[in-house]
Amino acid sequence: MAADRKARRALLILGLVLVALFLLSFSLGRYGVPPAQVVKILFARFLELFTGREVLQRTWTAQMETVVVNIRLPRIVMACLVGCSLSAAGAAFQGVFHNPMASPDILGASSGAAFGAALAILRGASTRMITLSAFGFGFLTVGLVMLVARRAPGARLINLILAGIMLSSLFNAGTSYIKLVADPSNQLPQITYWLMGSLSGTRLSDVPLAFLPMVIGLVPLFLLRWQLNLLSLGESEAKSLGVNTNRVRLALLLCATLVTAASVSFSGMIGWVGLVVPHLCRKLLGSDHRYLVPGSFLCGAAFLLLVDDVSRNLLAVEIPIGILTALIGAPFFLYLITRKEEKL
């Protein structure tokens, strides 16, 4: 079909754009590294992992290798992982709730993670414990939301949204209180900076820790993208086609929550990606989730990678990513709600 060929072509273009942007990002920064040297350094490291010895002749300095491998590589990979996860979660939530305004923080995972991180910072925890606390509280919040929604009478999806709003408000209040009692000379700036979102402190050891929960959540989202198409037909139609709607929704919500909590715990509060990117992908690929979900993977990774490149190169002082994504997302939100043909 022509629509399928167009969507596959768009996915191929998105993939090529992501690869090009991935390689280009290594050369961007205050310490310039030529693209040819970047490719050689990465290829040499790749060969060393399999052979256990140095294969290529060194044409680069030790400083170049340090900048590329230890500083830029973990940050670039994390930007791709977080962007991919948030945008895929946004596409899943919008499909499950049949609402174009749904985003990864609709069930309170981001608010819970923010509270967990702020609490850990207040207690003087290490960076690793701050990440674990954010991840745990993010997942705990969604568990509480599902528990409340199950016990409440009425429509399950509406109850999920209302419970998410309620618990998000509670955890936001808790975060505000922690900021009130935090040490203004040390803890408060750290909490504030974490809430703005940044990838500046990413280390190589963080990448595998983030990669595992994100892949565990992203693989089922990719495999269940067919069921998202069936859920969009409505409850009765999906059940008549043999879909266990409750089980599929639960699996999608859990996987989307897992990748959201993992993303926020490592990058801080980065909003709007899960709202903006799926809509951009719908313009390029249509509403078929067979192509929309993988398109969100690629487009989200490229989008956040581009935003991170801008954040660390635009000014002398690095701009937190959350600020830039809000500057892009808020106008896009206004565009959505002012479109006459958009049904919200």
**Structural domain range at position 194:** 2-338
The answer to whether position 128 is within a domain reads: yes
The total number of structural domains in the chain stands at 1
For residue 190, what is the domain's CATH number?
1.10.3470.10
End-to-end Cα distance, the chain: 30
Q: Is residue 148, in this structure, part of any structural domain at all?
A: yes
pLDDT at 336: 63
What does residue 287 show for φ and ψ, rounded to 5 degrees? -95, 0
Whether 99 maps to a domain, the answer reads yes
The residue-averaged pLDDT of 181-201 equals 92
The answer to whether position 344 is within a domain reads: no
Under DSSP, the state recorded for 205 is T
* Buried-exposed string 104-138: b where 16+ CB fall within 10 A, e elsewhere: bbbbbbbbbbbbbbbbbbbeeeeeeebbbbbbbbb
> Does the pLDDT value for residue 256 go beyond 80?
yes
What's the pLDDT band for 191 if we cut at 50, 70, 90? very high
| pLDDT of res. 340 | 53
Report if residue 332 sits inside a domain: yes
Q: In this structure, is residue 31 part of a structural domain?
A: yes
In a domain, 343, yes or no: no
CB atoms within 10 A of CB 266: 24
| Structure confidence at residue 76 (pLDDT) | 96
* 309 membership: H or E segment, kind and range: helix 289-313
* pLDDT score recorded for residue 337: 66
Domain-located, residue 15: yes
**Tens of pLDDT along 148-177?**
988 888 777 888 889 999 999 999 999 999
- Predicted pLDDT at 113: 94
Tens digits of residue pLDDT in 278-296: 988 988 898 899 999 999 9
pLDDT at residue 293 in the model: 95
Q: What is the pLDDT of residue 2?
A: 75
